[in-house]
Amino acid sequence: MSIRPALLAIASLVSFSSHALNFHDKAPNDELNDIKQSLEQAQNTLHYERTVNGTGYVPTPKDNSDKPARSYFEVVSYDIYTSQSGKRVIQAIVTNHSGGGIVLKPQQIKAYLSNSTYVEPVRIKQEGRFTQNETKSVTLYFEDTDASILGLLLRSY
């Protein structure tokens, strides 16, 4: 009966010793690299900013080159996500009021930024094509920028 506590004590000591050896084996440069990597991940992590119902208010562009191409799409709502490093992503709920078999194209939707510019997404991720009157979620990716996204702009027929 006295052997069992002794074995538990030895097992605990061996476990602690191996952990201590692994801890001291790490070089200071490795620890700095871990810290740098952690900071980079934190700066690239997307954070929820806000939800907008519909397209919200966006000033109408004066220049035709800033206006999106006409379409039969309608934005129901969208969530804006940002990162400290300047990544800008929107998760939008969009309805297609046109025929079936179409996709939302970057030139059909623009974001209005806090620096008073209009930009189209560099990439749109959507699952398959829209059917007629279908509502689905799409993800809009924008170029990295210091300017915040204030709203989305579409132009209907």
Torsion sign (Cα): 117, 120, 123, 126: positive
Residues 106 and 69 both lie in one domain: yes
Q: Are residues 27 and 49 in the same domain?
A: no
Give me the tens of pLDDT residue by residue for the chain, a chain 157 residues long: 567 666 555 655 555 555 555 555 556 678 888 887 777 777 889 999 999 998 788 999 999 999 999 999 999 999 999 999 999 999 999 999 999 999 999 999 999 999 999 999 999 999 999 999 999 999 999 999 999 999 999 998 8
Helices (H), 3-64: 3-25, 28-44
pLDDT of residue 42: 74
Q: What pLDDT is attached to residue 9?
A: 59
The total domain count for the chain is 2
Same domain, 127 and 110: yes
Q: Which domain holds residue 20?
A: 3-42
Please tell me whether residues 84 and 113 are part of one structural domain: yes
156 φ, ψ (degrees, to nearest 5): -90, 160
Query: Are residue 148 and residue 73 in the same domain, yes or no?
Result: yes
Is the domain of 76 the same as that of 102? yes
Q: Are residues 27 and 92 in the same domain?
A: no
Q: Fill in the DSSP letter of residue 76.
A: E
98 shares its domain with 21: no
What torsion do the CA atoms of 114, 106, 155, 58 make, to the nearest 10 degrees? -10
CATH number at residue 124: 2.60.40
